Amino acid sequence: MINLGLIGAGRWGRNYIKTIAALDGVRLARLASRNPESAALVDADCKISDDWRVLLDEAELDGIIIATPPALHAGMASAAIAAGLPVFVEKPLTMSVAEAGQLLDQARTKRSLVMVEHTHLFHPAFEALCRERADLGAICAIRSEAGNHGPYRSDVPVLWDWGPHDVAMCIALTGAVPQVRAAACDERREVGGGIGESIRLELQWHDGIRADIGLSNITERRRCFTVFCEAGVLVYDDLARHKLVIHPAQGGVALPEGAGRPVPVETEFPLTRAVRSFVAAIEARATTHSSLALGVDVVGVLAECERVIDR
């Protein structure tokens, strides 16, 4: 049995609670939360504390999940690494390039497992997209659109709330960190006690691949990631009936030959796959830092986008 501790029982923390409860061989043993309703969210044998530091001294824990606002990630993750606990931290890893780099240095020095939960990297459709791309030739371009009405946060801009998903998928797919060609905010206004924004990012790689990304929390719900390859166009649409469809193409340009070929994908929730991946890494006593290094790269790209937008 793998015993996990969770810091945070907010909207996403509650998703972790439900996910862990449905997994065999995994138990949520400790929860750090100041939410007075926390006791109703977990099993009776899960101990609850309002101080997250208490979890670091629990000998029974095999790993820690951090599901708190990004500003708290660095301090909590660093303390967990120092305590010798494997860590699974929500995206973004941090909102500071310096803090992200320090966590990577610390994890390497301590040979500690630290993973970042970029949800869409664990989506069966995105995993299938990466497999199918190998047969379609070189990547020519990427186009991504993501958004919804909300959430509206005062402490986390859309760039850092939505952007980690798209940037992480781009880096994971290309295997390289892009340059930021352009970044702009098309609209910004106060909404529901937070900030509503629509932003555009343009990334480019040394081999000429370009990614155009649109992100918004003041739009209709959408999540579509399109990859234009020499011999086909891959469309990962999380809201469509067929999550992944391949369209014929030539030289990266889609051909008007039907509606495309749906690719069968598994229906398991990405968060379930993410937690199982973390548990498997704990069981294997893994000390690789590829997930953490990707998280650091994502923070670097987003920080540069932020700099360009504010310029």
- Report pLDDT digits (tens) over 43-80: 999 999 999 999 999 889 999 999 999 999 999 999 99
Q: Band of the pLDDT at 192, cuts 50, 70, 90?
A: confident
> Which pLDDT value is given to residue 193?
82
Question: In whole angstroms, what separates CA 125 from the centre of its chain?
Answer: 15
Residue 295 belongs to a domain: no
Indicate if 179 and 192 belong to the same structural domain.
yes
For a pLDDT cut of 70, what percent of the chain falls above it?
A: 96
Residue 190 belongs to a domain: yes
Residue 298 belongs to a domain: no
Indicate if 77 and 96 belong to the same structural domain.
yes
> Which pLDDT value is given to residue 252?
64
Instruction: Determine the Cα–Cα distance for residues 121 and 236; give it in Å rounded to an integer.
Output: 12
Instruction: Determine the Cα–Cα distance for residues 195 and 174; give it in Å rounded to an integer.
Output: 32
Residue 278 belongs to a domain: yes
Residue 294 belongs to a domain: no
Q: Domain holding 32: CATH number?
A: 3.40.50.720
Indicate if 37 and 101 belong to the same structural domain.
yes
* Averaged pLDDT for residues 302-309: 97
- Tally of domains in the chain: 2
Q: Domain holding 219: CATH number?
A: 3.30.360.10
Indicate if 254 and 187 belong to the same structural domain.
yes
pLDDT per residue over 108-139, tens digit each? Answer: 999 999 999 999 999 999 999 999 999 999 99
Indicate if 258 and 276 belong to the same structural domain.
no
Question: In whole angstroms, what separates CA 75 from the centre of its chain?
Answer: 19
Q: Band of the pLDDT at 283, cuts 50, 70, 90?
A: very high
Q: Band of the pLDDT at 94, cuts 50, 70, 90?
A: very high
* Domain of residue 232, residue span: 120-268+303-310
Indicate if 167 and 65 belong to the same structural domain.
no
Indicate if 143 and 253 belong to the same structural domain.
yes
